[in-house]
Structure formats: structure tokens, C-alpha cells
Structure 1
């Protein structure tokens, strides 16, 4: 999954979907998008407009985080671990970086991290 596909999936297709699984590329590309929007927005937009933009990205961020945890076999509620002072964020980043379980779990079939590459000349 590439950058634009990930953003499209998280913002248009699965904006409020907390069900299913999300691959590592889907999660990390969307998080990069959120960081870029925040960084650029801080320099361009007024404070109140940036607040609205941040709120608009809040739900899909939690949704893709829950789906990413589902891919590793954990409940989406484990995002609350990030609230633990000093170490919660590190634990959460570690979980998000783990590969997904290769077998189907309670949240569905595995998500392929990479698309198969075709040899040149084959379509």
C-alpha cells in the first residue's frame, strides 16, 4: 500500500471503521500524513482552523490504530496504554511496528503488507 492509497483508505473508505485489520504500511503512511498535515497547518492556518483540522483527523487516527492493533491480535482498546506516563507511547509504538499475525484472528483475515510485483512486460 502506498501513501495515497493509505490516506484514501483511512479518510474516505474507513473513516470511522473500527472493525477489521490494517497493515503496517496503511497505518504508518496515514500517521505520516497526519504529522505532515499538522506541521504544514501550524505554519499556514490560524489556531481555530488548525483545531478543527486536528479534530477531523482524530477519529480516523483512532480507527486505523484500532485496526492496526487488531492485525497484531490485540483489542483496539489497547490504544489506552499510550496514556501511561513515560512508557505508554513506547509500548504502543512497539505494538504498531510488529508484523500482523499471518493467520485469521477474531478481527478477520490477514491483510497483505505488500502487493505482488509483476515482471517487466507482464500485465
Structure 2
């Protein structure tokens, strides 16, 4: 949960780097919260209003943590646009998100401190 909150606290921070753990824990908790919101939406019959509002609220943090994750692997945040290519683009994006972090400072910033704590 701390990783999810860390991403939300850095709401629009596109600079710097994010470790694999930070990114994937955010994705996991985002998925869980999305399921909860969809269940509540079905119970309340709000016609997809709640999932829309939740998705809108986490759009910028999702883009920001993805950009920081790409920075951690040495790629530009603009590489996220590869998701616009149906199927293949999404597969390539997932592969990029699973890659190891660069273990040295790069042009996007120093190695995240947590890297050494694992």
C-alpha cells in the first residue's frame, strides 16, 4: 500500500526514476481498487460513472510512474506511446516494464536509494 501512496504523493512527477517494485506494486493496488470500484458501481447502478472518475483520478499518476520506470531502464518516458500500437505495442511495453534497472546513475537521475535496500 505504501508504494501506491508513494506514487499518488508524487502525482505528476515525471522526472527521476522508479524501481520495478514501485511500478508493479502501484499496478497491483490500482487493479485491486479498480475491481472494488467496479463492484460498488454495479451495486449502486451508477452506469460506469465511478470507474470513469477513478480512472480519471489515477491517469496522471499512472503515466508519471510509467515514465519514471522507463527512465530507470534508460529509456525516455515517451516510449509509453508504443501502447498505441495494438497488441504488439502493449507486449513490448510490458517487456520494457519488466527489465532490470540500470545499476548506475543515468541521464534521468541517480539510482533510487531503495535499490540497495533489497
Same fold (TM over 0.5): yes
Q: Report the counterpart of residue 102 of structure 1 in structure 2.
A: 103
**Deviation >2 Å, runs of 4+:** 112-116
1:6 to 3, 6, 10: 3
**C-alpha RMSD of matched pairs (Å):** 1.2
Q: How many residues are matched?
A: 112
- Which ranges of structure 1 fall in alignment gaps of 5 or more residues? 117-123
The answer on 1:38 being equivalent to 2:34 is yes
Say if 2:4 and 2:30, in contact at 8 Å, map to a contact too: no
Could you report, residue by residue, the CA deviation over 1:23-42 in whole angstroms, capped at 9, with x for unpaired residues?
A: 00000000011111111111
1:5-24 alignment runs, 5 A limit: 5-12=2-9, 14-24=10-20
Q: Secondary structure at the match of 2:12?
A: coil
Could you report, residue by residue, the CA deviation over 1:62-113 in whole angstroms, capped at 9, with x for unpaired residues?
A: 0000000000000000000011122011100000000110111111011233
Higher helix share: 2
Say if 1:21 and 1:70, in contact at 8 Å, map to a contact too: yes
Q: Report the counterpart of residue 70 of structure 1 in structure 2.
A: 71
* TM-score using structure 2 length: 0.89
Q: Report the counterpart of residue 55 of structure 2 in structure 1.
A: 54
- Which ranges of structure 2 fall in alignment gaps of 5 or more residues? none
Say if 1:10 and 1:64, in contact at 8 Å, map to a contact too: yes
